[in-house]
Structure 1
Amino acid sequence: MNHTPSAAIPGALNAPDSPLATILASLEDAKAEDTIQIDIAAKSSLGDHMVVTSGRSHRHVGAIADHLVKDLKAAGFGPVRVEGLPHCDWVLIDVGEVIVHVFRPEVREFYNIEKMWAAEPYSERRATA
């Protein structure tokens, strides 16, 4: 799966100065792979969007995360919270309204958080009779 182009993001998130647009551009620049964006506003109070992406190795995951943190700070979206940098299997970057997960492919496949967050909210599920 390729990056979600910022032109396809509705509303204010399409603005070039939004955190989501900055994140997607930074991930593309850092050669992140299989980037997806999930709208979680109606599912959680953690934020409005989640971005999940992969790096090819520990080193690539760390480089993607470092690049993203620098780009966010340069765009005025800092400080950001970063977890997982020492091991670089799964790095979480919390920008407030956007949460970014950078995985090694094997770790991403194991946790499969896209499936969990892309599912419809529990309150909207219907029991079948």
Structure 2
Amino acid sequence: MATSSAAYRSSDPQGAEALHQLVLTSLDADQAEETVSIPLAGKSSIADYMVVASGRSTRQVASMATKLAEKIKAEFGRPARIEGLPGADWVLIDAGDVIVHLFRPEVRSFYNLERMWAFGDDAPPQTH
């Protein structure tokens, strides 16, 4: 049975920020494209941040997801749940305080998660 992300939620805001920074740094190092960070505070209790990024191919998406999960486990001592790795068109990484969506560009454009989560928001999502 899958563990809910609430089990990995940090009660320490600095822990959530450190995880968020690790995610952004890892994706940048792996040459993710169009990385967008969406603050979820006040919008949802599932996480503090949602990060959406693209890879040029399914191979790059899978590689970024695997490396990110390994870094989260090494740095924070907890596993990140990964969904969608076999196909790698859209990979979801649930790290508790940060939810990461990695897409191939065509799939990202189709689902347009940034627009859905930024709806009614005064400030646009933060691009990194």
Give yes or no for TM over 0.5.
yes
Give the aligned CA root-mean-square deviation in angstroms: 1.8
Q: Which runs of 5+ in 1 are unaligned?
A: 1-10, 122-129
Q: Which runs of 5+ in 2 are unaligned?
A: 1-12, 122-128
Residue 71 (structure 1) aligned with residue 71 (structure 2): yes
Kindly, what percent of the aligned residue pairs are identical? 50
Q: CA deviation at 1:14?
A: 9.3
Residue deviations 1:42-68 (CA, integer Å, cap 9, x gap): 111111110000000010100110111
Q: Give the aligned partner of residue 60 of structure 2.
A: 60
Q: Which amino acid in the other structure matches residue 69 of structure 1? A: A
Structure 1 residue runs of 4+, over 3 Å off? 11-15
Q: TM-score, normalised by structure 2?
A: 0.79
Count of matched residue pairs: 109
2:16–2:48 Cα contact (<8 Å) kept:
no
1:76-87 mapped onto 2 (5 Å cutoff): 76-87=76-87
Q: TM-score, normalised by structure 1?
A: 0.79
Q: Give the aligned partner of residue 6 of structure 1.
A: none
Query: Comparing both chains, which one has the higher relative contact order based on Cα–Cα distances under 8 Å and sequence gaps of 6 or more?
Result: 2
Which of these two proteins has the greater Rg computed from alpha carbons?
A: 1
Residue 96 (structure 1) aligned with residue 102 (structure 2): no
What is the CA–CA distance in structure 2 between the aligned matches of 1:113 and 1:38, rounded to whole Å?
10
1:82–1:93 Cα contact (<8 Å) kept:
yes
Q: Which amino acid in the other structure matches residue 25 of structure 1? A: T
Q: Give the aligned partner of residue 126 of structure 1.
A: none
